[in-house]
Amino acid sequence: MIELTSGAMRARVLTYGAVLQSLEVDGLDVVLGLDDPADYLTRSRYFGAVVGRYANRIANGRFTLDGREYTLPVNDGPNSLHGGVAGFDRRVWDVAAAAPDSVTLTLVSRDGDQGYPGTLRAAVTYTLTEDAVRLDYTATTDAPTVVNLTNHTYFDLSGRRDVRGHVVTMDAARYLPVDETKIPTGELAPVAGTPFDFTSPVAVGERYDGRYDHCFVLDGGIRVLEPDTGLSMTVSTSQPGVQFYTGSMLDGVATPYSAFAGFCLETQHFPDSPNRPHFPSTVLRPGERLVSHTVYRFA
């Protein structure tokens, strides 16, 4: 376990899954975590983990790259989710560098790991400031591959473990409709006039029964406000999209948390991009370097 501090901010990071186990803002832990690190082996719903090699879903566990088809393990109905049955969230990362306010973790994913081509060398750096946590991702490969890295932290700005009263504003004029298995249809649909319009402030539970698990096309940043505590969080990122998930599938049995106990803003490329040529590319080739960042800032 690595402890980070900066002003009134405190965080704990685990090498297992590169998990953000806790994040305290003025004494309030604003993320869902498991107190016993061993519970991440059996009870985790990706709490705080860095997920990959490909975050989100790939349809039917298949994609074609440079004319060759690759088959992945399926672990979400017919689809491959968050890198497969043994994704990056289930690996022990190495500590490459550490300071009082930051830590860099690295992972080597060998050629053929979970069906993906190329040996991928990935790194994530957590950095605390006096009002934010910043995540910087990098990756390189020795053969053409696809990669999509994100962090799967569940946030709760109230401490009550019910986020349906949180008010969300998202600079996103389009979202990705999905089929019954949560694979994008390929359309980048306008949010105007739909329950997916967060361009003006809307409470999580106000529409759609609060059951969001959709990718939004980002035009700018995101702001979440908890009206009772007055605590807000803004999200800025270099990624083209964000998966907004409101924890509706948490059941209080497999995990200690019940439905709607936390929400995720998983900044990322779009799901199933390897099978959708008109989506932003997630292909990484030798000699290239994946670089992305996300900042969660509190006020």
| pLDDT at 76 exceeding the cut of 80 | yes
Per-chain mean pLDDT for the chain: 97
Of residues 255 and 9, more confidence is placed in: 9
- Give the pLDDT band (50/70/90) at residue 44: confident
Residue 152 catalytic?
Answer: yes
Catalytic residue among 82, 152, 166, 214: 152
**For the chain, the helix, strand and coil percentages under 3-state DSSP, each to the nearest 5:** 10, 45, 50
Catalytic residue among 214, 226, 266, 269: 266
* Residue (of 192, 179, 151, 188) closest to 50 by Cα position: 151
Long-range contacts of 80-85 (CB under 8 A, 24+ apart): 80/54, 80/114, 81/56, 81/57, 82/46, 82/51, 82/52, 82/54, 82/55, 82/56, 82/152, 83/51, 83/52, 83/53, 83/54, 83/55, 83/114, 84/114, 84/115, 85/114
Residue 269 catalytic?
Answer: no
What are 23's strand-pairing partners? 11
At 99, give phi and psi (nearest 5°). -145, 170
Ordered structural domains, the chain, with CATH: 2-159+244-298 (2.70.98.10)
- Give the pLDDT band (50/70/90) at residue 62: very high
Q: Residue 276 and residue 43: Cα distance in Å, rounded?
A: 33
Give tens-digit pLDDT for 130-144: 999 999 999 999 999
Mean pLDDT for 31-37 is 93
Torsion sign over Cα 277, 51, 75, 34: negative
Torsion sign over Cα 269, 275, 281, 287: positive
Give tens-digit pLDDT for 248-269: 999 876 788 999 999 999 999 9
158-169: b (≥16 Cβ within 10 Å) or e: beebbbbbbbbb
Q: Which amino acid is at 114?
A: Q
